[in-house]
Structure 1
Amino acid sequence: MSVYSLGIWIVKPGREGDFVEAWREMADWTTREMTGGEKGTLLRDREQPNRFVSFGPWDSVEAITAWRAHPGFRERVGKLREMLDDFSPTTLDDVST
């Protein structure tokens, strides 16, 4: 079974386009530089258009931990946080497919 990273992102009004662009850059960097993960998915809430949810599968919790501890991740999330009102990251286990 896989383990997943998940983020809930509440973007400051008017910054949605900038956020999507920066998130894509982080996802591309992750795919290029990190092992153990697959390309992530970013979804936008239809009823609350400044709310986004991202998720992606990983081989292990250790791979997620290494990704989140990497200076490149911290730098990119720091830039994203400038556009956010709130960010909630979590790690989830696949229990049924």
Structure 2
Amino acid sequence: MQENYYTHALWHVKEGKAEEFLVAWKKFAHSLSQVPNSPSVRGTLIQSITDPLVFYSFGPWETLEDIHTMRNNEKVKLAFTEIVELCQDTKPAHYKTVMQLTFPSSRKQ
């Protein structure tokens, strides 16, 4: 299995700041595209249905070095700080794939 790496974060947004958070997250995503020699990046942001102030983001990366390069970029750090200021709690981290499972559909056609 080829090792893949992921970034993942919990974002617990401050009351009344959800719309600003979405704008800041887009700005953060744009800053990722400005990192010199960066790979193609795909990020996903999901929002809790039961608590609309809770978001999770995740995205795959080719190498651990790509994650470190991104996190050390000054524009990315600035955009990240803007997001953090809109949150009451954040928990960013990075992970590696250790297993992938695929199950066939049991739906009747």
TM-score, normalization: structure 2?
0.82
Does 1:50 find its partner at 2:53? yes
Q: Which blocks of at least 5 consecutive residues in structure 2 are unaligned? A: 101-109
| Greater C-alpha radius of gyration | 2
Among candidates 72, 75, 83, match of residue 72 of structure 1? 75
Q: What CA RMSD, in Å, does the superposition of the two structures yield over aligned residues?
A: 1.3
In 1, the alpha carbon distance for the partners of 2:66 and 2:6 equals 10
TM-score, normalization: structure 1?
0.91
Among candidates 14, 25, 45, match of residue 27 of structure 2? 25
In 1, the alpha carbon distance for the partners of 2:41 and 2:31 equals 12
Counterpart mapping for 1:58-97 below 5 A: 58-97=61-100
Corresponding residue for residue 4 of structure 1 = 6
More helix by share: 1
In 2, the alpha carbon distance for the partners of 1:25 and 1:83 equals 13
Q: Which blocks of at least 5 consecutive residues in structure 1 are unaligned? A: none
Alignment deviations for residues 28-63 of structure 1 (CA, whole Å, 9 cap, x no partner): 221343513512110001111101100111111111
